Chain A
Amino acid sequence: MKKIAALVGIIAVAGFASVAQATDLDPRYQAYKPTSGVSGSLKSIGSDTLNNVMTLWAEDFRKVYPSVQIEIEGKGSSTAPPALIAGTSQFGPMSRPMKAAEADAFEAKFGYKPTAVRVAVDTLAVFVNKDNPLQCLSLTQLDAVFSKTLISGAPASIVTWGQLGLTGEFADKPISLFGRNSASGTYGYFKEVALSGGDYKDTVKEQPGSSAVVQGIAADKYAMGYSGIGYKTADVRPIAVAGRDGKCVEPTQATAYAGTYPITRFIYMYLNKNPSEALSPLQTEFLKFVLSRDGQADIAKDGYFPMPFIFAGEDLSLVGAN
């Protein structure tokens, strides 16, 4: 067993030297075709994880339709539903699906459910410092590290690196935990999947942005935290995570698409679409743009994985934009 662990270590160190692959984009995605007469203003309020992608989309969309005004506010996924309900925004980007209560509040006002369009695939990575030799954790171990409720059935809370099997200088060092603030969809999703809905430990340092989580881990050798794979820098390293079947899976595009990496999610764009009416041309064109080659290239540029092509077609027909 020890030998295998050492072997895995060697392979990983060799992998450390190899160059990561750029994200692949399905060649079936077509370039966006502009139409005439699109103007007006759009406001998007929602996820801060999607803030950068929204900005990239806005920049590129305005290259096609220069008079379109797009304003972007990203304070967390939880700010999207109230803004959609109040009518202050046309798009609500969210890094998690809407909760039943949020969707009900929307329905109570408009009489129909909000429409969700899946725009990207995000993989939540568990990061450790670049000097940390840890290779793999199971979801149960993650629960024992991050939560105080231990719903997944871990025997005891894990507080030191030694409890995760590390030796040497790490053995007796406490794990310094970094996470997101509670308005974030990343916070909610990690809680749901890794913690089985349990509560975070009070020692988790809640950060205002995904990038702040990574910076925290970069500066602290004994730190662990979760954030989107797109925020990876040279100072941190994503570790493999084992799902319920116990197999360690690296967070990559292939494993995310195959669904074998357990903490993979869709990123959504919520909007208010009356089922009996067509969407405004501006909104339709924006969604078409997002799910075109140009829009999905922006996704890759910001470190997420593009939507699998089949889903993109499905969701476009959902809003009548196909």
Chain B
Amino acid sequence: MADVAQSGSGTTDLAEAQTTFRRSHGSDLAARGEPFLWGMGGALAFGMTMIVGFVAMVLYFGLTTFWPKPIEVVTLMDGKVIAGEPLRQERYRPTADQLAAENETVRQAIAADLGFATRTLYHLGNYDFYGDDFRWVPDFQAKQTERPAGLVLVERQEWGAFIGHISAITVKGSKIEGDALTPEVLAAAHVEARARRERLHDIENGRIADVNHEMEALRLQARRAVLDYGTGTPGQIAAQAEVDRRTAELQAGYTTLAAEAQIIKAEEAANTVTFREIGGATKVYPLSAIVRYFESNDLGLGGSLAVYGARWWEYLTAEPREANTEGGVAPAIFGTVVMTLVMSLLVAPFGVITALYLREYAKQGRIVSIVRISVNNLAGVPSIVYGVFGLGFFAYILGGSIDALFFPERLPSPTFGTGGLLWSALTLALLTVPVVIVATEEALSAVPRSMREGSLACGASKWQTIRYIVLPRAAPGIMTGLILAMARGAGEVAPLMLVGVVKLAPQLPFDLNWPFAHLERSFMHLGFHIFDVGFQSRNSEAGRPMVFVTTLVLIVIVLLLNVSAIAIRNRLKRRFQGSQF
């Protein structure tokens, strides 16, 4: 109620002021505030345009990347035929040398166009055939361009996409080609091959990996016994015997599994597919190397949607392959989310406790001011400096000592003594703690003095007052600080590159092997993935769209984290809405 009354009186004041100014003739425009209003409006509009433009660009490129494109077959002037997906066109000015190689008609046409010509970039795929997968084709070199039915785009486990025809398959050693190779036969064989690969993956990455994990644990146990008892002592010999017995058991299990895998591999070898590119060259691959295939030019809307959905699903749930340029980013998504959550768990208590002490207990004076200034300045330290600190202090000093104390059997390979999820989370917690401290202090100071005094007057102690009156009412403000910290932490990459993010982490930081959470492990991160695919991958042309897709995913994840935090904050706020005086 009070708010409404206030703003009402404000408007009246302004109206009065304006009438006054209108009366005085030579009044300066600036005094009425108009230029500032325009300036502020303009600044807001500029900022909004930038943000909207950026988001629109990421959305456009991110969302369109996976949509299947048509395949064009281009017959060139010299009689060669190429097939590929047209990606983009550009106008350019052919150089004198290029023009000299063309005939008179082409030269005249270009001259009539003020020296400009158009060219199209085609994605040819077939890197294993050509050693090149993108190509610019000037329009004047294309004799004929068509989109024939029946051309297949194959996404493969290796070597990137294939564009051409599937000319034959071999199922269990017998070759099927020509008319016998109907879409149904192909689909059935492909489904079977994929199921086989799935089984193989399950045996190799699931059951064999478990056996190997146990064997590694036993090896460490034996090593530990040597360190604990010394070589040749009865304790060590007993431990070694036990380890040997268990290892032999596991080895037997491994042999059975390996034989099983070998049988499946032999089956794989008997099921092949022959690819024939548009020029007629062929290559044979295992049938299971096909991730998916479709005839781009006959998809229709439903088919396109199915491919689009399948590609997104793969991207979000699968592991990366081909050095991160294909497949999915599931480990990176997982790494980003887990790292951000662990960071929030670490930063919240640190920040809140510090702010509580500074605001409620510490005697306000010179020292507290200095501490505050220092905290605020911490927010301005470049993030890479935190990375260096994290590597030097957390990984090398702290982690090195932990290794020497608790994991001597694993040395010289470091356990905690190298970058990992825990050190990354701690480093980012350090980076974001000023945000939380400042926000918490603001929230604490916003709790009305009358409420503290009321509580104290009722006989509550200082701590009881803080615990039951101040903290609950400051909680929404504290959450705001945490949200800002999370947003900053989730998007930070530079320090992480030093303290634990890797291009390819073989294992997730959580799995079914005891103790389930492996915070010492390196992990993958979407931000680093963007940097890596954008600047390090062999094929920058193929990498570029993936950069946008990954950026989109990262933005959506940060948004989701924030939205959930905001939802929690709003619940906290609602709890006290009814209890205002």
Contacts and interface: CB of A to CB of B under 8 A. Distances in A.
B96 A168 contact: yes
Nearest to B395: A88
Given A6-B100, A43-B413, A211 B78 contact: no
A171 B205 CA distance: 59
A39 B538 contact: no
Contacts of A58: 504, 506
B178 to A, nearest CB: 27
Nearest to A167: B96
A307 B136 CA distance: 31
Contacts of B208: 66-67
A74 interface: yes
Nearest to B95: A133
Interface stretch (B210-218, B428-436, B463-471): B210-218
Nearest to A60: B158
Given A69-B506, A88-B414, A209-B535, A52 B323 contact: yes
A168 to B, nearest CB: 6
A37 B92 contact: no
B255 A233 contact: no
A100 B130 CA distance: 40
A114 to B, nearest CB: 16
Nearest to A49: B536
A88 B420 CA distance: 13
B461 interface: no
Given A20-B132, A301-B158, A59 B204 contact: no
B538 A211 contact: yes
B209 A211 contact: no
Contacts of B204: 63, 66
B462 interface: no
Interface string B210-250: 01110110000000000000000000000000000000000
B135 A67 contact: no
Contacts of A235: 136, 541
Contacts of B258: 36
A27 to B, nearest CB: 15
A231 interface: yes
Nearest to A52: B323
A201 to B, nearest CB: 22
Chain A interface size, under 10 / 10 to 19 / 20 to 34 / 35 or more: 35 or more
Nearest to B211: A67
Contacts of A55: 323-324, 503-504
Interface in B88-138: 92-93, 95-98, 100-101, 121, 127-132, 134-136
B145 interface: no
Interface in A58-81: 58-59, 62-63, 65-75
A17 interface: yes
Interface string B377-421: 000000000000000000000000000000000001110011000
A20 to B, nearest CB: 4
A130 B97 CA distance: 13
A207 B540 CA distance: 14
Nearest to A64: B204
Chain B CB count within 10 A is highest, among A23, A88, A168, A212, for A88
B131 A39 contact: no
A294 B538 CA distance: 19
Given A39-B212, A56-B323, A234 B506 contact: no
Interface string B64-76: 0000000000001
A73 B502 contact: yes
B543 interface: yes
Given A21-B130, A55-B324, A73-B503, 12 more contacts: A6-B100, A9-B100, A10-B101, A17-B78, A20-B131, A22-B129, A22-B130, A88-B414, A131-B92, A211-B540, A233-B539, A301-B158
30 contacts: A9-B101, A10-B97, A12-B97, A14-B101, A17-B78, A17-B141, A19-B132, A20-B130, A21-B131, A22-B131, A55-B323, A59-B323, A66-B205, A67-B211, A69-B507, A70-B504, A70-B506, A71-B504, A71-B506, A73-B502, A87-B412, A88-B414, A90-B413, A130-B136, A131-B95, A211-B535, A231-B538, A231-B539, A301-B128, A302-B323
